[in-house]
Amino acid sequence: MTDAGVVDPSVTDASVDRQVPDGEPPGSCERPPAPTVCPTTGPAPKARDAITELLKGIGEPIRCASGSKNLWDLRGLVDLYGDKRIFMMGEVHGSNEIGIVSSLVFEELAQKGLVNVLGYELPMDFEAPIQRYVDSGTDPVGEQVVQSLAPNMFGAILTEIARKQRETGKKIHVAAVDVPTTTELPSEALRALAQELTTQRGAVLDTLPTYASDMPTPEELTRTRTYFDAIMAKKNEICAELTPADCDRLVAMTHALWVAAFAYDEGTAQGQEWFAKREEVIFYNMRMAMPKAEDRMYLHMGAFHTNKHAASAGSRMDKEYALTKGKVLSIAPAYGDGSVIRYGRDQRLPGEPRTLTTAFGHEPAQPVFVATNRPGQTTCETNPLGLEPDEEVVGSGTRGQLYDGYIHYGKLTSEARPNDAVLTRKDGVIGRTLEAFRARIDRAESAALARRMKVRSAVPR
């Protein structure tokens, strides 16, 4: 990675939207003019040609041709991040392209000293071994986790970048922010918290569920639900004997215990209650990863978690957490018809968002970034992308409310076939422990996605 971008010699596709211009500094692509200062903005254009003209006028390629190679130029994203505290890269799970681009963005920010925390959608009980692997490069468990993942999956590719940054002397704190794979970690945390209690110790310990295996029985699930309800009912009394930080941990670990147990119960794990409790755990883990005002995080998660509008840990970091309130940048994925992702199995996706696929096509020659709320460059018209409703992520809100911008990757390819990607890494397979965890999450999210798509298809367009 150069100061302005990176040339990857494995890229051989020289098709271009914009060439490296003579007037730009070395290692850079042509950029649109600086945003126009608009005292007011006019109505958004409605005609297809006018929409296309506006979006292409503000679109910024993040890769362009340089001789026989392609050059990555990420200045626009770095500039947009500015003094913010979190850079959230949202994805649809299971592609090659999003992980590859995300690794380049993370590397650029880390090299410039703009992030010191790497957060991602990996289970929290994997955090310690992955951190040891990043710090030392030799931890057997962490190394096994990383090597077991598809090579372009964010958990593998971002971890390797963090390890390389550590080798250059930059300390990267790893934050695996998703719920644990089993009930073991939250159970241990709750037992430890109980030791801080006096009169309320029994409330935490006496009915703490035990589990005969990683797959709870119906009776164990019933005890888990009863335990959760009892802790929440006595929260004030218990927390009166704890510090505020330990009280937060009590609530979070009680949620983590519930979510980990019910992840095996497909009826519950596909419901809104499970997703809401999972988001509580993610929000807690994100806050714990950023305890100091100088902490800055690069976060890679599914696009639901990174939306800034509602119902997500990302929205709460932007709206509630004092150290990051109003200091969150969120970038979402755009992709063309015919995209294929690995989500439990290979699945084909229709292109999204339609405003972008209409303007740039389903396979733009180069990936391009488009801000959602930047007005027309010369007309000061309202950006139609930002006004487009988003029915898929949260079922309400506009794309401008959810995200600061989109990267249009073109057609996505399945992470199970890394050689299909324009950029390729070494082959790999998913380890059995994480595969089982991801399979449970995939089933739950796939069912929720299917319900959203059914609702979406019934909406007149």
Averages of pLDDT over each 10 residues, the chain, 461 residues: 38 34 58 83 97 96 81 93 98 96 96 98 98 95 94 96 96 98 98 98 98 93 98 99 99 98 89 96 99 98 96 97 98 97 93 96 94 93 96 81 98 94 42 59 67 49 44
Answer whether residue 278 is part of any domain: no
End-to-end CA distance of the chain: 43
212: number of Cβ within 10 Å: 9
Owning domain of residue 225: 184-262
445: number of Cβ within 10 Å: 19
**Overall number of domains in the chain:** 2
pLDDT in the model for residue 434: 57
Q: φ, ψ for residue 120 (rounded to 5)?
A: -160, 170
301 and 194 inside one domain: no
pLDDT in the model for residue 121: 98
Rounded distance, CA 320 to CA 130, Å? Answer: 29
Rounded distance, CA 354 to CA 331, Å? Answer: 17
Over its C-alpha atoms, the chain yields an Rg (Å, rounded) of 23
Rounded distance, CA 107 to CA 170, Å? Answer: 11
Last residue of a domain, one of 262, 277, 308: 262
159 and 193 inside one domain: no
Answer whether residue 232 is part of any domain: yes
299 and 448 inside one domain: yes
114 and 210 inside one domain: no
Q: φ, ψ for residue 121 (rounded to 5)?
A: -85, 60
70 and 98 inside one domain: yes
pLDDT in the model for residue 21: 43
223 and 350 inside one domain: no
396 and 322 inside one domain: yes
40 and 153 inside one domain: yes
403 within 8 A of 90, measured Cβ to Cβ? yes
Give the three-class secondary structure for 429. coil
372 within 8 A of 354, measured Cβ to Cβ? no
User: Can you say whether the dihedral through the CA atoms of 212, 217, 219, 224 is positive or negative?
Assistant: positive
pLDDT in the model for residue 69: 77
Answer whether residue 442 is part of any domain: yes
Answer whether residue 275 is part of any domain: no
Answer whether residue 86 is part of any domain: yes
Answer whether residue 271 is part of any domain: no
Answer whether residue 307 is part of any domain: yes
155 and 201 inside one domain: no
CATH of the domain at 338: 3.40.1660.10
Answer whether residue 382 is part of any domain: yes
436 and 304 inside one domain: yes
Of 257, 248, 196, residue with least CA distance to 227? 257
131 and 94 inside one domain: yes
69 and 16 inside one domain: yes
